[in-house]
Chains A and B, each alone.
Chain A
Amino acid sequence: MRNKYSVFSLIKNAISYHENWQRAWKDPAPKKEYDAVIVGGGGHGLATAYYLAKKHNIYNIAVVEKGWIGGGNTGRNTTIIRSNYLWDASAGLYDHALKIWEGLSQELNYNVMFSQRGVMNLAHNLQDVRDLKRRTHANRLNGIDAVYLSAEEVKKFCPIINTSPDIRYPVLGGTLQRRAGTARHDAVAWGYARGADAMGVDIIQNCEVKGIKRNGDSVEGIETTKGFIKTKKVGVVAAGHSSVIANMAGLRLPLESKPLQALVSEPVKPIIDTVVMSNAVHAYVSQSDKGELVIGAGTDDYVSYTQKGSHQIVEGTLNAILELYPIFSRMRMLRQWGGIVDICPDASPILSKTSIKGLYFNCGWGTGGFKATPGSGDLFAHTIANDEPHKLNAAFNLNRFVSGDLVDEHGAAAVAH
């Protein structure tokens, strides 16, 4: 039985010098057979396992992870959460996730530090202004909170932004989604892992998938570094490595994996109490609870699995940051890193069945998957349990690349990649 986290458990454990906290999840060896196996122990994969158990009463599940849970893109993103996407299908998908975020800490009994500090998107040219106004209207028709701000209102909401008309790409306006914000990325993975483990899910770390065994057109199990695991249902949530897993099953995906970089500064006192994103000059910044500026850079244009990126990408982002925020000119950057993001041609994800029975893919989140973690897990669990997509992820099927019914969200991807 899992102990409940509360102020009383905190006091009790403080008295015993925090030496007696219960393990948050077990470290089991894989069983011979599971009802379903999730490949990938990031936020999306763990959330999938959690909702399979919680909503669909499938408890005999393994999550296999080649490294440690939350050590991939879950631990490498800039933790921004928003749902101001243009098209109806995306609005449904991302706002579903945002609604779950709003009650997630209570549901998981784990503080995911969800902070609705607002996300502002800036316009730097007349086309940006038109696009952002259109997106604001589209959002409001879909019941998503969005307001358009003039340059003066932008300045009022975030006073450190340089709104002078003299800069190379002056701020002409912006949009604001107040319900948007940030969350603590590790806590999301750990909270879902703890919740799934409590319902009987086996979380198996350091277990890399080496092959997918098929019998004709259906899945029979997976080969891993810890042996063969028999299962009829495999849900792949492997982000940048989705194509690698797909190749094992003889499938082709419309993905390219590219390095995406982020960086953080030294910690300073609170200076920016919201998230500001700028597509045109490619700069986005927020401040973590520790006080570091969290800055997202862009992707490189070549395929790479190195978890590194090119220096000029970071340089370009910092140039833009400095022009928009002259106050940061003497800040020092502490760390920089890369994650491998799987990008779809239409910048929308794939949550889909495949031509192989029992094999499901949740991938293509590209540069913006973190925000969708709870919704993605919920909808992917529905797809696996019922062998049919939920109506909210029906549009995000693999067949859209054949039918041409793409969900083009390049404009709402917040920064151009």
Chain B
Amino acid sequence: MFLINCPYCGERDQQEFKAGGEAHIERPKQPTELSDDEWAEYLFMRKNIKGVQFERWNHAHGCRKWFNMVRDTSNDEIKAIYKMGEKPPTQ
């Protein structure tokens, strides 16, 4: 449980938010040409990092907007928050 600084609403309790999993997984540009292995990679395989991870979050019980977060999964410390479409910060 932690506080999240929503880029649109400001600091709110984490329970207002929904985690959306790993960020920056690009939707295949040519879905019809994808092999089964590539589909598996896109749909199921995850980095699941212990440490600094890039994620998507949604302010589900607030403004309902999506944004990105950089968070250390080993201690739940939030390193950075940035809007969708913005370049991820370099570490």
Residue numbers of A with Cβ under 8 A of B are 241, 243-244, 247, 252-257, 300-306, 308-312, 342, 345, 401-404
Complex CA gap A241/B50 in Å reads 8
* B40 neighbours in A (Cβ, 8 Å): 254, 401-402
B2 to chain A, nearest CB (A): 8
> In chain B between 40 and 58, which residues have their CB closer than 8 angstroms to a CB of chain A?
40-41, 43-50, 53, 55, 57
Contact: B44 with A254, CB < 8 Å?
A: yes
The list of the 5 closest CB pairs from A to B, nearest first, reads A302-B19, A243-B48, A254-B44, A310-B1, A252-B45
* B55 neighbours in A (Cβ, 8 Å): 302-303
Contact sample, A vs B, 30 pairs, CB 8 Å cutoff: A243-B46, A243-B47, A243-B48, A244-B50, A252-B41, A252-B45, A252-B46, A253-B48, A254-B40, A254-B44, A256-B46, A257-B48, A301-B19, A303-B19, A303-B21, A303-B48, A303-B49, A303-B53, A304-B76, A305-B73, A306-B73, A306-B74, A310-B1, A310-B15, A312-B1, A342-B48, A345-B43, A401-B44, A402-B40, A403-B36
A41 to chain B, nearest CB (A): 19
A141 to chain B, nearest CB (A): 30
Contact: B73 with A304, CB < 8 Å?
A: yes
Contact: A305 with B18, CB < 8 Å?
A: no
Contact: B45 with A254, CB < 8 Å?
A: yes
B90 at the interface (CB under 8 A from A): no
Residue numbers of B with Cβ under 8 A of A are 1, 14-15, 18-19, 21, 36-37, 39-41, 43-50, 53, 55, 57, 71, 73-76
A239 to chain B, nearest CB (A): 12
B72 to chain A, nearest CB (A): 9
Chain A, Cβ-Cβ closest to B53:
A303
* A254 neighbours in B (Cβ, 8 Å): 40, 44-46
Besides the contacts A308-B76, A310-B15, A403-B36, what 20 more A-B pairs have beta carbons closer than 8 Å?
A: A241-B50, A243-B46, A243-B50, A244-B50, A252-B47, A254-B40, A254-B46, A256-B48, A302-B57, A303-B19, A304-B73, A305-B50, A305-B73, A306-B74, A310-B1, A311-B1, A342-B48, A345-B44, A402-B36, A404-B36
Complex CA gap A345/B71 in Å reads 22
* A256 neighbours in B (Cβ, 8 Å): 21, 46, 48
* A308 neighbours in B (Cβ, 8 Å): 76
Complex CA gap A345/B46 in Å reads 10
Contact: A305 with B1, CB < 8 Å?
A: no
Complex CA gap A404/B49 in Å reads 25
* B47 neighbours in A (Cβ, 8 Å): 243, 247, 252
Complex CA gap A254/B48 in Å reads 9
User: For chain B, what secondary structure do more than half of its interface residues adopt (helix, strand, loop), or is it mixed?
Assistant: mixed
Complex CA gap A65/B18 in Å reads 34
* A303 neighbours in B (Cβ, 8 Å): 19, 21, 48-49, 53, 55, 73
Contact: A255 with B46, CB < 8 Å?
A: yes
Chain B, Cβ-Cβ closest to A241:
B50
Looking at B18, B43, B57, which has the most chain A CB atoms within 10 Å of its CB?
A: B43
Supposing A253-B45, A255-B48, A301-B18 touch, asked if A402 and B76 sit within 8 A by C-beta, the answer is no
B41 to chain A, nearest CB (A): 7
* A255 neighbours in B (Cβ, 8 Å): 46, 48
* B41 neighbours in A (Cβ, 8 Å): 252
A242 to chain B, nearest CB (A): 8
A315 to chain B, nearest CB (A): 9
Complex CA gap A309/B15 in Å reads 12
Complex CA gap A233/B57 in Å reads 40
* B18 neighbours in A (Cβ, 8 Å): 301
Looking at B21, B43, B44, B71, which has the most chain A CB atoms within 10 Å of its CB?
A: B44
Looking at B18, B55, B73, which has the most chain A CB atoms within 10 Å of its CB?
A: B73
* A309 neighbours in B (Cβ, 8 Å): 1
B19 to chain A, nearest CB (A): 4
* A300 neighbours in B (Cβ, 8 Å): 19
Complex CA gap A304/B46 in Å reads 14
Chain B, Cβ-Cβ closest to A258:
B19
* A310 neighbours in B (Cβ, 8 Å): 1, 14-15
Chain A, Cβ-Cβ closest to B71:
A302
* B39 neighbours in A (Cβ, 8 Å): 402
Contact: B45 with A401, CB < 8 Å?
A: yes
Complex CA gap A253/B1 in Å reads 26
Complex CA gap A309/B2 in Å reads 10
Contact: A306 with B48, CB < 8 Å?
A: no
* B1 neighbours in A (Cβ, 8 Å): 309-312
Complex CA gap A247/B73 in Å reads 15
Contact: B50 with A402, CB < 8 Å?
A: no
Complex CA gap A302/B43 in Å reads 17
* A241 neighbours in B (Cβ, 8 Å): 50
